[in-house]
Amino acid sequence: MINKLLTTLLVLLFITANAICYANESSNGNYSTVVDEAGNSVYMTGWKMRAGDQVLTENNRRYEVSRVEGNIAHAKFIGDVNLSAYYNEDTSILGRLKAYLKPAIAEAEGGGKVAVYHTHSDESYVPTDGEESILGAGGIYKVGDAFTASLEKKGVTVIHSQAKHDPHDDMAYERSRRTVLDLIKKEQPDAIFDIHRDAVPPQVYKTTIDGQDVSKVQLVVGKYGPTGKQIEDYALQLKAASDKQHPGLVKGIFFAKGGDYNQDLHPRSMLLEVGAHTNDRESAEKGVALFSDVIPTVLGKSSTPTGPNAAGTTDAAGNTGLGSAAGGASGAAKSMGWILGLLLVGGAAFLLLSTGSLKEAGAKLKNFTSTEFANFLGTKKSKQRNTPAKSEDTDQQDDKK
């Protein structure tokens, strides 16, 4: 009788613990609206809000939820967040030159390795997929494909897991946890992304960037656990880089006080919400492709995390992060990458100094590649055409020498 009672208590404790860590994401079509002290709506998300949760808005204003009434989360304004602390930008001429050439340098070094998976395998986009949920074959996998393809074009190695974790319930994160552990053990990625879609009205995520209709991206940080602060700094770094490259792409950050989302397993683990079920999937694919531009900037071999609390890069379990010597590419690959990168920087610096502006330097470089280099090849080919072929007698004489 006592053993049976103890077993029952342990089961209840297990269920309660998982409810605290994971039962934050709504799957019934309801969504939360965060309002400030004046009753103004400042944020919307499909996640269930609890007192203590926080949000960072698109314009970097941070709020903390004080109480929840139904689907309305009342929040107090904490303050404006200056993300420049998470994006160290060198504004000197050499610094701007390095930033301009950074993608080429990162590609020369090797762009690192990224793992992608989907805790909620069913999530889909109604306008495109016809349903918001398709068990084991959600449209979210195609959004993951778009993310993968865009990263691979930048020289990043991507492992896109096709593992299924249905059904869409509170235990989905326990099932996907095994997938994450397997990815870490076998692939040792530099970063891991769990890609989802949100559940709010379409206008919340709909935007236009660079002339194309795209869906915005929301970052989700689990504050529950020992790595919560490290993941928070990482999310702020990602948003800072995105705000520089594609302003308006990141809708904001949701900080779940009681969330975990397997982010304790890797120091560079992030949950992404790409659009909502009410947005078309094509716009989500375009949005996540734009977000992929941020990854080489943040991870690409300048991988030491920034920010006021970014000192450590090794988690509690001793897993090595990106800022350590063991993370990323081998020493030989890095050396070759830096040699090529320095050559590029040196050549570009010479062009800049000799012409006086980036515009003129670009024009000179274009003229060289399209005209002078072509003339060089043309001259070489002309010489080959004008060189008479050896006669058989000459060949025989050569053989005797």
The secondary structure of residue 370, as a DSSP letter, is I
Contact 140, 195 (CB under 8 A): yes
Distance CA 293, CA 9 (A): 49
Residue the block writes with tokens 């970063």: 191
Indicate yes or no: pTM above 0.85.
no
SS3 content of the chain, % helix, strand, coil (to 5): 45, 20, 35
Domain boundaries, the chain: 1-81+112-329, 91-110+331-382
Distance CA 261, CA 217 (A): 17
Q: Which two tokens stand for residue 129?
A: 């997929």
Question: How many Å apart are CA 80 and CA 85, to the nearest integer?
Answer: 13
User: Which position has the token pair 């004008």?
Assistant: 386
Strand partners, 41: 35
Cα–Cα dist 275/197, whole Å: 5
Q: How, if at all, do strands 157-160 and 113-117 pair?
A: parallel
Superfamily per CATH, domain 1-81+112-329: Zn-dependent exopeptidases (3.40.630.40)
* φ/ψ (deg, to 5) at 325: -65, -25
Which residue in this structure is represented by tokens 């350590």? 324
**Which three-class secondary structure state does DSSP give residue 316?**
coil
Place of tokens 């080919």: 381
Q: Return per-residue pLDDT of the chain as tens, 401 residues.
A: 555 554 544 444 444 444 444 445 655 568 999 999 999 999 999 999 999 999 999 999 999 999 999 999 999 999 999 999 888 655 556 655 655 665 555 555 556 999 999 999 999 999 999 999 999 999 999 999 999 999 999 999 999 999 999 999 989 999 999 999 999 999 999 999 999 999 999 999 999 999 999 999 999 999 988 889 999 999 999 999 999 999 999 999 999 999 999 999 999 999 999 999 999 999 999 999 999 999 998 986 443 334 444 333 333 333 333 322 233 333 333 344 444 555 665 666 666 566 666 666 666 666 655 554 455 444 444 444 444 444 444 444 444 33
Instruction: Say if CB 310 and CB 89 are below 8 A apart.
Output: no
Residue closest to 306 by CA, chosen among 219, 226, 227, 240: 240
Find tokens 């090849």 and name the residue: 377
Alpha carbons 332 and 337: distance in angstroms, whole number: 9
Query: Distance between the two ends of the chain, CA-based, in angstroms?
Result: 104
